[in-house]
Amino acid sequence: MIASLPRPAWLRTATVLYVAAFLVFLFLPLVIVGVFAFNDANYPAPPWRGFTLDWFTGSAATGRVGLFHDTELLGSIWTSLIVAVWVTILSVTVGTANAFLMERYRFPGKQVLSVLMLTPLVIPGVILGISILSFSSRVAELADDLFGLDLDFLRPGLPLVVLGQFSYIATIATLMISARLKRFDSTLEEAALNLGASHAAVLGTITLPYLRPALIGSAAISFLMSFENFNTTLMLVGSDAPLTVMMYGRMREGASPVLNAVSLFLMLASAALALTMMRGGPRTEAAKSAAAQ
Amino acid sequence: MVDIGDATPVRAWQRRLILILLLAPALLWLFALIVLPHVQLALLSLRERVAPHVYQPSLAQFHTFFAEPLYWQVFVRTALLSIVATALTLLVAFPIAWVITKVARGRASALLFVVCLIPFWVSETVRALGWLILLRESGVLPALLVKLGLTAVPVELLYHDATILTGLVYTSLLFMVVPLVSSLESLDNSLIEAAYDLGASGFATLKNIVIPHAAPGITAGCIVVFMLTLGNYLTPNLLGGKNSQWFTELIYTQFIVRFNWEQGAAFGFLLLGLSTAIVAVGLRLSGQRFVDVMRRS
């Protein structure tokens, strides 16, 4: 029952217990990951054998390779960062163009296009991955047969990973930027034009500054979603594994606490990003699209 | 004073040029990365290799799917478990959405909402790692059960269907909580008060007032959760191990391990078909439009 109606004591107790249990369910896996990054044992498992920083700094005595010396893992973080930067640039640029296209222009086929723009969200990531994989390899084949061109970037590898992630993250950027552009008061632009400003000046001094929060927000979400993507990436990855794929591979072999150490960093980075974006009221729009796939 | 009209009118051809420049990236994106790849995937699924580099159109891939019990059993199993996971997610998320919108007030409500969202900013890989450490035979919960005297030896809590479901519900919660909260927020409290004053039981109020009002949110949440669950790979694979038998794993095996792209493409289309069919049924049952649901979620 709602707060303004009398609630029996048992219901209040049950509510508190439920919320508590729910929060434990939500945070227990994350807390456990963080705690075992500091356990002085070779596997992330109980019992607790004392506090150590070996899994970050490494230790010559025990032969443990810490996160800061694990070149393979550090390399995969770097790969993920590069992929995420490209995906962010592409998604925000195309998303902005799409927002202007859909909010400002009329053209034949607009309805079809607006539905088509949403479809990447309903296609499972695995299928996005295999369809792009098979199409790009077909194009590479054709280029080879017809022109004798060797288009290496169309083989599984980072360029395809970028394209695969971009193919659905662009939809999210488009939705976020369109939502803000829709609320824009176009009389502001008209006023500036009437006062003699050029169209380029109006765009640069009025429209884009107004869109800034949405541009920054969609950039942050695009970056995060790219960094965390697994399904699509798995199908398109070549020899350079991004972090999620690398972690998956190691988890299947039996994880060492180095993975806990890197996870702790990921959690801190995500928390910092989340808190920055949620300041000034929860921006659900951004937060809710964050965790996809 | 000066002319009030447009100071620098955009000529028709300029407007046309801008339209074309804006259309180009959208069309390039949608055709090169969505439409044409799926056409290629469809063509792949509808052919058969008869000799090295010789292919002919055929339905052999789909025939194999129905002829081989393992394949369609995994397909049905994935669909059923996804439906169960979606229902469980709704059951777990609804009370929380209710507390956020109707019981907690002001800052407490906003705080609870934000706290519910935070775990989902962390990669699914990290969350799966947490569950692995908690549940595996040498993990935290089995050790705790032994310590409490509930089991004599540590039990393996991984690799069960219940484990997979737990992981899937955990991963999906956010996508249910958010649409539920936004649909419950718009429910006027005075309607519930009126029902109470008129003597309606809690159950009657829920059935006749709350659920009809929240139906759009419930549909949106269920559709998104179902799609994500069906297409999930990481959680069933890591928490279910060899017993997971998730359909996306078959696709991965055919495509990446066996390099049998024709068969993998056919599996991909079957999964896409199932996902689309369930979404369509969900929309029809609740009488909503696709575009509205996607905007809402």
Partner-chain contact B129 A255, CB within 8 Å: yes
Rounded CA gap, B128 and B167, in Å? 7
Question: Averaged over B273-287, what is the pLDDT?
Answer: 83
So what's the pLDDT on residue B291?
Answer: 64
Residue A291 has pLDDT above 90, yes or no: no
Mean per-residue pLDDT, A229-242: 93
* Residue of B44, B125, B276 with shortest CB distance to A247: B125
Task: State residue A130's pLDDT score.
Answer: 95
Best of B30, B109, B121, B255 to disrupt the A interface (most A CBs within 10 Å) is: B121
In terms of pLDDT, which residue wins out, A272 or B1? A272
Reported confidence tier of residue A112, pLDDT bands at 50, 70, 90:
very high
Domain boundary among A31, A48, A69: A69
- Total number of domains in chain B: 1
SS3 A39: strand
β-strands B47-51, B54-57 pairing: antiparallel
How many residue pairs from chains A and B have C-beta atoms closer than 8 A? Answer: 288
Residue at A18 is within a domain = yes
Out of A43-57, B82-96, B127-141, the most confident range is B82-96
Which of A77-81, A242-246, B5-9 is predicted least confidently? B5-9
Contact B257, B249 (CB under 8 A): no
Distances (CA, A) of A109 to A113, A118, B13, B23, B219: 6, 15, 20, 11, 28
Q: What are the residues whose beta carbons fall under 8 Å from the beta carbon of B120, sequence distance 6 or more? A: A287, A290, A291, B173, B174
Chain B touched by A3 (CB under 8 Å) = yes
- Residue among B126, B264, B291 minimizing CB distance to A118: B291
DSSP secondary structure code for residue A44 in this structure: S
Q: How far is B287 from chain A (nearest CA, A)?
A: 18
Amino acid A42: pLDDT: 84
- Residue A285's pLDDT is what? 45
Asked if residue B190 lies in contact with residue A254, where contact means CB atoms within 8 angstroms, the answer is: no
A128 near A164, Cβ under 8 Å?
yes
Q: Determine the pLDDT at residue A286.
A: 44
Interchain CB distance below 8 Å, B8 and A198: yes
Residue A23 CB: number of other CB atoms within 10 A?
Answer: 15
DSSP H or E segment with residue A76:
helix A71-104
For residue B293, what pLDDT band results from cuts at 50, 70 and 90? low
pLDDT at B7 over 70: no
Measure in Å the smallest separation between the Cα of B226 and chain A Cα atoms: 10
Q: What is the DSSP string of A1-31?
A: --TTS---HHHHHHHHHHHHHHHHHHHHHHH
> Taking residues B204-216, what's their average pLDDT?
88
B70–A contact, CB cutoff 8 A? no
Statement to judge: residues A87 and A6 lie in one domain: no
| Confidence grade of residue A289 (pLDDT, cut at 50, 70, 90) | very low
- pLDDT for B229 equals 94
User: Is residue B126 pLDDT above 50, yes or no?
Assistant: yes
Report yes or no on B49 lying in a domain.
Answer: no
Contacts of A100 in chain B (CB under 8 A): 22
Taking contacts as CB-CB distances below 8 angstroms, the residues of chain B near A31 are 130
Within-domain flag for B29: no
pLDDT at A30 over 90: yes
Per-residue confidence (pLDDT) for residue B42, from 0 to 100: 94
Mean pLDDT, residues B85-91:
96
Residue A113 and residue A39 share a domain = no
A139-166 average pLDDT score: 91
Supply φ then ψ for residue B47, to 5 degrees: -135, 170
ipTM > 0.95, yes or no: no
CA distance B69 to chain A (A): 23
Residue B292's pLDDT is 63
Tell me, yes or no, whether A189 and A272 share the same domain: yes
Domain contains A168: yes
Is some CB atom of chain A closer than 8 A to the CB atom of B29? yes
Closest C-alpha among B55, B235, B164 to residue A291: B235
**Residue for token digits 């019992």?**
A47
CB A258 within 8 A of CB A44: no
Between A41 and B97, residue with greater pLDDT? B97
Task: Using alpha carbons, list the distances in angstroms from residue B266 to A160, B256, B271.
Answer: 22, 14, 9
Residue A166 lies in a domain: yes
- Would you say residue B13 lies in a domain? no
Residue B150 forms part of a structural domain: yes
Instruction: Using a CB–CB cutoff of 8 Å, tell me whether A35 touches chain B.
Output: no
A54-74 residue pLDDT tens? 888 888 787 788 888 889 999
Average pLDDT over residues B53-80: 91
In a domain, A186, yes or no: yes
Mean pLDDT value of segment A170-197: 91
Residues of B in Cβ contact (< 8 Å) with A167:
29, 33-34
Which B residues, 234 through 293, put their C-beta within 8 Å of a C-beta on chain A?
234, 238, 248, 251-252, 255-256, 261, 264-265, 268, 271-272, 275-276, 279, 290-291
Contact status of A135 with chain B (Cβ, < 8 Å) = yes
| Mean pLDDT score, A226-246 | 93
Residue B40, pLDDT > 90, answer: yes
Highest averaged pLDDT of the listed ranges A266-275, B69-78, B136-145: B69-78
pLDDT at A179 over 80: yes
CB B150 within 8 A of CB B89: no
Confidence of residue B156 (pLDDT cuts 50, 70, 90): confident
Instruction: With respect to residue B30, please indicate whether it lies within any of the assigned structural domains.
Output: no
Determine the average pLDDT of the residues in A111-118. 92
Among B20, B103, B129, which would you mutate to test the A interface (most chain A Cβ atoms within 10 Å of its Cβ)? B129
Looking at residue B9, its pLDDT comes to: 61
Query: Does B251 sit within 8 Å of A126, measured CB to CB?
Result: yes
Contact assessment for residue B136 and residue B157, using Cβ atoms and an 8 Å cutoff: yes
Q: Which helix (H) or strand (E) holds A167?
A: helix A158-182
The domain that contains B183 carries what CATH number?
A: 1.10.3720.10
Domain boundary among A69, A100, A125: A69
Residues A46, A156 within the same domain: no
Give the span between the Cα atoms of A264 and A52, in whole angstroms: 15
Q: What is the pLDDT of residue A1?
A: 62
The first and second tokens of residue B69, run together, are 């019990």
pLDDT at A263: 94
What is chain B's alpha carbon radius of gyration, rounded to the nearest angstrom? 25
> Any idea which residue has 């695009």 for tokens?
A222
Q: Which domain holds residue A92?
A: 71-288
Q: How confident is the model at residue A293 (pLDDT cuts 50, 70, 90)?
A: very low
Average pLDDT for A223-251: 93
The DSSP secondary structure of A129-164, one letter per residue, reads HHHHHHHHHHHHHHHHHHH----GGGSSSHHHHHHH
Q: How many domains does chain A have?
A: 2
Q: Is residue A293 part of a domain?
A: no
* Banded pLDDT at B5 (limits 50, 70, 90): very low
In tens, the pLDDT along B233-263 reads 999 999 998 888 899 999 999 998 999 999 9
Verify that A12 and A75 share a domain, yes or no.
Answer: no
Give yes or no: residues A114 and A256 share one domain: yes
What's residue B193's pLDDT? 87
Instruction: Indicate the residue of A22, A100, A124 with minimum beta-carbon distance to B275.
Output: A124
Burial profile A64-98: b = 16 or more Cβ within 10 angstroms, e = fewer: bbbbeebeebeebbebbeebbebbbebbbebbbbb
Contact across the interface for B117 and A290, Cβ inside 8 Å: yes
Tokens of A276: 């920055």
Interatomic CA distance for residues A278 and A159, integer angstroms: 32
Q: Residue A135 sits in a domain of what CATH number?
A: 1.10.3720.10
Q: pLDDT band at residue A292, thresholds of 50, 70 and 90? A: very low
Q: Tens digits of per-residue pLDDT, A265-287?
A: 999 988 888 777 766 444 444 44
Position A169 scores a pLDDT of 95
Domain that holds residue B133: 62-296
Q: Which of residues 207-226 of B touch A (CB under 8 A)?
A: none
Q: Would you call A163 an interface residue with chain B, using a CB distance cutoff of 8 Å?
A: yes
Note whether A250 and A157 are same-domain residues. Answer: yes
What 3-state DSSP class applies to A58? coil
Is position B100 within any domain? yes
Pair of tokens at residue B157: 């809590």
Q: Are residues A62 and A107 in the same domain?
A: no
Helix (H) or strand (E) holding B54, with range, is: strand B54-57
Residue where a domain stops, chosen among A28, A48, A69: A69
- For residue B47, give how far its alpha carbon lies from the nearest alpha carbon of chain A (Å): 14
pLDDT (0 to 100) of residue B266: 95
Residues A63 and A80 in one domain: no
Helix, strand, coil percentages for chain B (3-state, nearest 5)? 75, 5, 20
The verdict on A280 touching B (C-beta cutoff 8 Å) is no
* CB-CB contact of B172 with B229 (8 Å): yes
B38 in A contact zone (CB under 8 Å): yes
Query: Residue A178 in contact with residue A148, Cβ under 8 Å?
Result: no
Q: Is residue B54 part of a domain?
A: no
Per-chain mean pLDDT for chain B = 88
Tell me how far apart the alpha carbons of residues A165 and A219 are, in angstroms, rounded to a whole number: 14
